[in-house]
Amino acid sequence: MIIFQMQFTMTLRVLLATFAAFLLHPCGPCWAISKDEARNAINTLLQNPASSAARNSGRVVLEFAESTPDHRVLINLGYLPWAKSRNLPDGSQMLLAAFVAGNLQAQMKKNSSNPEPYAGTLAVIAVYQKMRQANPRFKIPKVEEFIAMEKRGVLRSHINSIK
């Protein structure tokens, strides 16, 4: 289950529209996604986010997160500050999928339904860095700030402070 913790602003509307477009893109017949399928999709997305398979995997991850009663992902603009930015580079929607994937992966490892926003944020950083390797012009300053915070050892406390 994905829970949005935000005020409805124009930024939120854009984020939700992107999220909906990502989910609603045709991906074949609809069926319940198993945990194994979700795990495979998470691994594909996190290992090679610039691949064509990662886009479909992102859809699977988001659909699973929305439909599963076993796990919860909180979406808050504080966890996704780049979503407020204008003119994001192509492929930036993968960062939302990465946040959800990292969050779910940590919950699955712990067999928990407690949201794991720090794990989601670390997944965003890992995916972002891989996307930057594939395309050095792919740059998002707000994610760069998260990377700097993680290097200083303050990212976890920052994420935990977001309400």
Residue type, 104: L
Q: Pull the structure tokens for residue 118.
A: 């720090």
Q: Pull the structure tokens for residue 49.
A: 């986010």
Please tell me the distance from the alpha carbon of residue 26 to that of residue 48, in angstroms, as a whole number: 21
What's residue 28's pLDDT? 44
What's residue 85's pLDDT? 84
What's residue 12's pLDDT? 47
* 163 residues of the chain, pLDDT tens digit each: 766 554 444 444 445 555 555 544 554 445 689 999 999 999 999 999 989 999 999 999 999 999 999 999 999 999 999 988 888 998 898 999 999 999 999 999 999 999 999 999 999 999 999 999 999 999 999 999 999 999 999 999 999 999 8
CA atoms within 13 A on the CB side of 47: 8
DSSP state of 2: E
Global pTM value: 0.83
- Judge whether 117 and 80 are in contact, CB under 8 Å: no
What's residue 5's pLDDT? 59
- CA-nearest of 13, 25, 18 to 59 is 25
